[in-house]
Every structure is written in C-alpha cells, then in structure tokens.
Amino acid sequence: MKSAFNGEINWTSHTIKVMLCTSAYTPDQDVHQYKSSVTNEVTGTGYTAGGLTLATPTVNYTAGTNTLVLDGPDLEWSGSTITARYAVIYDATPGTDATRPLIAYSDLGGDVSTTAGKFTITWDTAGIITSTTA
C-alpha cells in the first residue's frame, strides 16, 4: 500500500497484472514492495511469465459507507498445466521489476493445480480490494 499512497499506482490507467506463484514463495508485506522481490513464479503450459493483464480494472466509491472498491474481471489461464498457491497483483507499467509496485496478494488456500485445463481466479463479489474509512 505504500506505493499506492506514494502515487506510484494508477489502478485504472496503468497496466495491472496478476502473476501466480508456488507455495515456495512466502509473501512479506513488510519487505516486498516491488515485483523484483517476488520469487517462485509458476511455470508450465498455458502460463506466460508475468501473468495476465487485468482487463478493465474499476474503482468505485460509495459515499454513504465510505467504501472504496477496486475490482476487475475474473482471470483464466486456458489449457494450463500449472500449480499455484498465491496470486500477486502488481502494476506492470514501470519499466523494470525493481520499480513495478506490488498491490496485493491472494492466498489461494492451498496448492491449486490444473492439467491441460482452465486455471481460474474468481474474485470476491465485493471486489478484489475493499477499503472502508472512517
């Protein structure tokens, strides 16, 4: 979140991507600020390094509840043979991994595998990221 408040991320005009990592990766929100800190990205049929672009990301604010929602469409890696534990959301617009800010992590709750099938991330109906302020 530090990068967001530093103005490094623009959810709707930058290229937002989601990459998948194996269980060998350990997210560290206190230390990992940029994509260069992320290790153990999955490899396999149907998966391209760097992950998928989140098409049409949206921002919605509800004044009555002071709720900000960042959302986007579900993602699908078709015909994939991969195993992943984490989805890492990052801003791919800056030129190098050392300057591409991380936005969020999603723990898939355990290893999820496909064999020549569809690997799908279905975001929560409330949004990918939801924040309520006082």
Residue 35's Cβ-count burial label (10 Å; 0-12, 13-18, 19+) is buried
Quick check: pTM over 0.95?
Answer: no
pLDDT 10s digits, 56-109:
999 999 999 999 999 999 999 999 999 999 999 999 999 999 999 999 999 999
Residue with tokens 């672009």: 53
Distance CA(59)–CA(19), nearest Å, equals: 21
The phi and psi torsions of 60 (rounded to 5 degrees) equal: -130, 140
Q: How many CB atoms lie within 10 A of CB 134?
A: 3
Distance CA(42)–CA(20), nearest Å, equals: 6
Whether residue 5 has pLDDT greater than 70: no
